[in-house]
Amino acid sequence: MRLTVLAGGIGGSTFLRGLLTARPDAEITVIGNTADDITLFGLRVCPDLDTVMYTLGGGISAERGWGREDETWVIKEELAAYGMEPTWFGLGDRDVATHLVRTQMLDAGYGLAAVTEALCIRWNLPVRLLPMSDDRVETHVVIDDPDSPGSRKAIHFQEYWVRLHAEVTAHQIRAIGQDKAKPAPGVLDAIADCDVLLLPPSNPVVSIGTILGVPGIRDAVRETSAPVIGVSPIIGDGPVRGMADKVLAAIGVESTAAAVARHYGARAAGGVLDGWLIDTTDAAQLQSIAEAGIHAQAVPLWMTDETLTAAIANAALNLAEAVRR
Ligand code: GDP
Ligand code: CA
């Protein structure tokens, strides 16, 4: 079975772990979000790709959910001692090695897809991990400028999330460079040639949204003969963790499972979904999702452990069989 999965960081990789438990023999291609990427101290950092790589490769910090296990922070402390900004980004020593390899290979002329493939060899990754694009795309968030009352400014998504903890109002989300980006080698084929296309409970705006926004990708999702099944990242009226509610508000979408489903839209009506899993506590929304032309089902969606997450992955694959045309 060939499965293709569009993924952000923590939500995407947690789901992938369950999917691997549910279907250990599947051939899985992951198309990762790279709009969180940032250059710090000359190093190219790809947080979502690395979260998938470390999680599925066994190197992730279980406690933090990002970065490396057994991490030390000497480089970060030394940079701070020099008064170097930014100090808010967690650059661990082990993690820095990944960014050094990536940056050196990019500087030598390799594309990000080739670099990612090379990095994944070390981790013996049980999936093929592709960046959405080799081209630079970076999410910026428009906020009120604290230094200039009445005016606004755009900051990098990492500054909004890591430094400001998404505590200031996001007025607008912009994916800089996206209009000129091309899907990375292998991306369109992985969408066209798979048995099921899955959208895990990743952020609908700054993870899945930025992947779909790369010219060519949304059309490929619309046109694939594989069923497209999504899992809601919203349970009740908020995200399970993270800031999906804040960035959904910025694009005018309510934080409910049904509103996110309508935002993605039914493939039959020009959207990207055939099926949508929502949590059992949101079962009252099934009707309105069905009215939007999307096959919906309510199952427990808390990815609390691998068994529960594998059950979610199974439910998504079963829904795919039910909607297969
Ligand atoms: P990020 O890049 O690290 O922010 O991770 P993703 O974009 O892949 O996923 C973030 C989303 O995962 C958040 O919007 C959460 O609502 C969602 N999420 C996290 N844990 C769970 C869970 O246990 N169940 C569900 N349904 N969604 C979750
Ligand atoms: Ca992310």
**DSSP character string of 70-114:** T---HHHHHHHHTTPSP-SS---HHHHHHHHHHHHHHHTT--HHH
C-beta 32 within 6 A of ligand 1 = no
* Distant-in-sequence, close-in-space partners of 39: CB < 8 Å, separation ≥ 6: 45
Q: Ligand 1, atom 19: nearest CA belongs to which residue?
A: 11
**What b/e string do you get for 43-80 counting C-beta neighbours within 10 Å, with b at 16 or more?**
bbbbbbbbbbbbbbbebbbeeebbbbeebebeebeebe
Please tell me the predicted confidence (pLDDT) of residue 288.
97
**What b/e string do you get for 129-157 counting C-beta neighbours within 10 Å, with b at 16 or more?**
bbbbbbbbbbbbbbbeeeeeeeeeebbbb
Tell me which of 15, 56, 64, 207 to substitute to probe ligand 1's pocket, judged by most ligand atoms within 8 Å of the beta carbon: 207
Please tell me the predicted confidence (pLDDT) of residue 241.
83
Task: Report which ligand 1 atom has the smallest distance to the Cα of 232.
Answer: 26
List per-residue pLDDT tens for the chain, 325 residues long.
999 999 999 999 999 999 999 999 999 999 999 999 999 999 999 999 999 999 999 999 999 999 999 999 999 999 999 999 999 999 999 999 999 999 999 999 999 999 999 999 999 999 999 999 999 999 999 999 999 999 999 999 999 999 999 999 999 999 999 999 999 999 999 999 999 999 999 999 999 999 999 999 999 999 999 999 999 999 998 878 888 999 999 999 999 999 999 999 999 999 999 999 999 999 999 999 999 999 999 999 999 999 999 999 999 999 999 999 6
Please tell me the predicted confidence (pLDDT) of residue 239.
79
Please tell me the predicted confidence (pLDDT) of residue 112.
98
Please tell me the predicted confidence (pLDDT) of residue 177.
98
Beta strands in 137-255, from DSSP E residues, in sequence order:
138-144, 152-156, 172-176, 196-199, 228-231, 234-235, 238-239
Tell me which of 55, 173, 210, 240 to substitute to probe ligand 1's pocket, judged by most ligand atoms within 8 Å of the beta carbon: 240
CA distance 256 to 252: 12
Domains of the chain: 1-12+195-325 (3.40.50.10680), 36-130 (1.10.8.240), 138-176 (no CATH)
